Amino acid sequence: MKAIPGKHEQGFTLIELLIAVSILSVGLLALGSMQVSAISGNAHSANVTDSSTLAADRLEKLLALPYTHADLSLGAHVDPNPPAGRTVRWNIVDDAPLANTKTLTLSVQWSDHAIQKSVSMQRIIARML
């Protein structure tokens, strides 16, 4: 197509520039929203990982105790010195699922934005005769 004499194309018009800036702004807002979601997801994952590690650690300590230790007696127990922001509880059921066994259920609870979360683990301890 031939150019019209006397007309010269010299860069972008103001409308083209406004459209380009609008598209860029929408993209940057979407990127910012994704960052907020990623940070929130990472924080939640860190809480679950920390609680799972704590639960596994406390479970191993309880499993290392003698079968007749007070912390493995029938009923509910609470850790008197849990890490800040966490509650560690465990429950012992005697002769379940078989005679001379104990079922140990341990849970770690924490609050995440006023919502209670928890991780639980369960093991069976056998009396060694």
- Residue 83, domain CATH: 2.20.25
Asked if the structure places residue 88 within a domain, the reply is yes
39 within a domain of the structure (yes/no): no
In a domain, 4, yes or no: no
Evaluate whether 101 touches 92 at the Cβ level (below 8 Å): no
pLDDT for 25-57, tens place per residue?
999 999 999 999 999 999 999 999 999 999 999
Number of domains in the chain: 1
**Does residue 41 lie in a domain region?**
no
pLDDT tens, position by position, 55-113: 999 999 999 999 999 999 999 999 999 999 999 999 999 999 999 999 999 999 999 88
Domain that holds residue 59: 49-126
> Is 91 part of a structural domain of the chain?
yes
pTM for the full model?
0.75
Confirm whether 65 is domain-assigned: yes
Q: Look at residue 16 and tell me if it is in a domain.
A: no
Domain-located, residue 119: yes
Written in H, E and C, the secondary structure of the chain is CCCCCCCCCCCCCHHHHHHHHHHHHHHHHHHHHHHHHHHHHHHHHHHHHHHHHHHHHHHHHHHCCCCCCHHHCCEEEECCCCCCCEEEEEEEEECCCCCCEEEEEEEEEEEECCEEEEEEEEEEEECCC
Euclidean distance between CA atoms 5 and 87, whole angstroms: 82
